[in-house]
Homo-oligomer: A and B are copies of this chain.
Amino acid sequence: MADPAFFQVAGPFTVAEIALRIGATVAGTATPERMLRDVAPLQTATRDELAFIDNRKYLDAFRKCGAGAVLVHPALTNEAPENLCLLVTEKPYRAYAVAAQAFYPEPPPVPWISPDARIDANAEIGEDSRIEPFAVIGARAKIGRRSLIGAGSVVGAACTIGDDTRVGAQVTISHAIIGARVRLYPGVRIGQDGFGFSPDPDGFVKVPQLGRVIIGDDVEIGANTTIDRGAGPDTIIGAGTMIDNLVQIGHNVQIGRNCVLVSQVGISGSTRLGDFVMIGGQGGLIGHLEIGTGARIGAQSGVASDVAPGETVMGSPSVPIKLHHRQVAALKRLATRKGR
């Protein structure tokens, strides 16, 4: 179970209640009245805990599993041991997410404005929000309702932050308009100057960065990620997009809805992503590209040309994924063949 020093468990729930909540079918050794008190990993779950399997790598653990019930895809039910209660669903990981939210609902921030926060007289703080110690809120900034500004965070002049948004500790925000239900993890940097200067051989001339950062609803931005404001146009992060830790987003970048950017990705200035784009860890994109909706870019790829909607590319420089696999295989053959 989760360490009670850090997490407070709700419940218990019967197997049937969980099945109803996630839309799963009870199967295997069905015990719908069994009480489930927690979620747990497949390897350690006991009779009153709920587990899930979503990766064939863990089939061995599944076969020995002693959980009270396991969320499982229909294709894996025949691998289940006897006496295991199954909750069958096409999306076991999603079902686990919903069930875990039931056991561990996230409490809203406890409303509080710390006397140690410094809030400009012309800033507005919405009802039931929480402003932690040593936060600094600038003139004309607006914070929504039930939102959190973590310890030491700085919200610059005129920035707006929506309702139910959680800003972790030590985040800096300037020149930004941020939606509702957004999460910014600790150390996120939003709205600083983009990397804009005229690269003269005898000293650079700085280009004023005159745009903003616009962040849609339901976006998550990982720890120590940096998002520069636009140079003239805005830098835009579409609603529902998930950004991991240590990602770099250059000025004027536009990212669509529900994209996924894994950690340490870098996107250079003025590149635009459609919706549902996925970029693997450490992938890099040069500037001024168009990446189509649904495109997928493999980890460590180096993308220097547009990617069509739905296309998958990989490698540095990136090529279509099939060609990438052929290149990898061809190079291996070339390096190992006899008679070299």
Contacts and interface: CB of A to CB of B under 8 A. Distances in A.
Interface in A234-293: 240, 242, 244-246, 248, 250, 258, 260, 262-264, 266, 268, 276, 278, 281-282, 284, 286, 288
- Chain multiplicity (copies): 3
B189 A187 contact: yes
Contacts of A286: 281, 299
A132 to B, nearest CB: 7
Given A94-B205, A228-B245, A326 B336 contact: yes
A328 B317 contact: yes
The A interface is mostly helix, strand or loop, or mixed, namely loop
Interface string A170-200: 1010010000000101110100110111111
Interface residues of A, number: 112
Interface stretch (A13-21, A29-37, A96-104, A123-131): A96-104
Given A6-B175, A281-B268, A98 B331 contact: no
Interface string A97-129: 110110110100000000010100000000000
Question: What 9 A-B pairs are tightest by C-beta distance, nearest first?
Answer: A94-B198, A326-B335, A2-B210, A189-B223, A172-B186, A5-B158, A226-B245, A97-B207, A327-B335
